[in-house]
């Protein structure tokens, strides 16, 4: 199955290369754990473990090579600590530029566990063209809102997307949870909705009764795509996907533990009309 998936990903990247006549940057997204020497999988900043085994928790790891070739930036989720594959020294570098072909975990926007004492950030990724440099800047969520999205210097920029595994639920889905209205679990999305004009694409495009979890085997929606009004108006279709590729299945080659493929998070597909 792993080889089949790699072939499928590469076929998609090859197709994108064929139709990308304007040489726009290519972004690949996924929620998985990849194996590469030196990458940290520990959530605590005091744990120096690296990938030595083929499995982490309940998720089967894959080689970074399984992502194929032909992307400028691979945005990965699952690991809460920000890190760029192959550059472990840059975990908390606030501003760094790499050549095309970056594979990165942006980490979670907020602390998910009490032992996560490291800084939690959101990454601003800038790319100008296919094959060009990739600039990454890390900031906390308030800084992003005040100094990027709402900054007067960016008043002419109308096309914004903010997306990822936020590891936090939103108050717009409150009827599906039993959380106290005053609970801190709502803080991240409350702040975004109160301090920016960004729209929660899935919530805006679907009726409350059509609520759908973004995690296999769970009831929560913690993966989000936010869009500025201009980008939102370009949307043609938007959905959380479930198909044969997104249904968890036990790995029959593993005789102990609980290792499933492909990921415990479902992909979000959004089609934009950009011309």
pLDDT in the model for residue 165? 80
How large is the average pLDDT for residues 11-20? 95
Does the pLDDT of residue 99 top 90, yes or no?
A: yes
Structural domain that includes position 10: 2-272
Q: How many distinct structural domains can be found in the chain?
A: 1
pLDDT in the model for residue 271? 94
Q: What is the C-alpha separation between 1 and 13, in angstroms, rounded?
A: 18
How large is the average pLDDT for residues 56-74? 80
pLDDT tens digits for range 190-229:
988 999 999 999 999 988 788 889 887 788 898 999 999 9
pLDDT tens digits for range 132-169:
999 999 887 777 788 888 999 999 999 999 888 887 88
**pTM, entire model:** 0.58
Q: What is the C-alpha separation between 108 and 140, in angstroms, rounded?
A: 10
How large is the average pLDDT for residues 62-73? 90
């Amino acid at each position: 199955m792993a080889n089949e998936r790699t072939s499928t990903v590469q076929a998609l990247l090859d197709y994108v290369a064929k139709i990308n006549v304007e040489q726009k940057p290519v972004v690949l997204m996924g929620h998985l754990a990849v194996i590469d020497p030196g990458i940290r999988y520990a959530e605590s900043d005091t744990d120096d473990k690296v990938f030595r085994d083929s499995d982490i928790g309940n998720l089967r790891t894959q080689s970074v090579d399984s992502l194929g070739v032909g992307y400028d930036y691979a945005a990965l989720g699952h690991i809460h600590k920000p890190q760029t594959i192959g550059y472990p020294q840059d975990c908390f570098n606030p501003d760094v530029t790499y050549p095309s072909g970056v594979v990165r975990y942006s980490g979670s926007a907020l602390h998910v566990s009490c032992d996560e004492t490291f800084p939690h950030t959101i990454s601003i990724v800038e790319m100008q063209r296919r094959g060009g440099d990739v600039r990454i800047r890390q900031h906390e969520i308030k800084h992003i809102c005040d100094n990027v999205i709402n900054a007067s210097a960016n008043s002419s920029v109308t096309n914004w997307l903010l997306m990822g595994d936020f590891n936090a639920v939103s108050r717009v889905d409150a009827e599906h949870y039993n959380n106290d209205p005053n609970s801190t679990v709502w803080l991240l999305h409350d702040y975004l909705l109160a301090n920016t004009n960004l729209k929660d694409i899935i919530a805006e495009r679907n009726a409350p009764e059509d609520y759908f979890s973004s995690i296999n085997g769970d009831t929560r929606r913690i993966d989000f795509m936010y869009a500025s009004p201009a980008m939102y108006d370009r949307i043609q279709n938007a959905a959380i996907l479930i198909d044969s590729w997104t249904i968890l299945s036990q790995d029959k080659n593993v005789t102990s533990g609980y290792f499933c493929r492909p990921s415990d998070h479902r992909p979000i597909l959004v089609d934009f009309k950009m011309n």
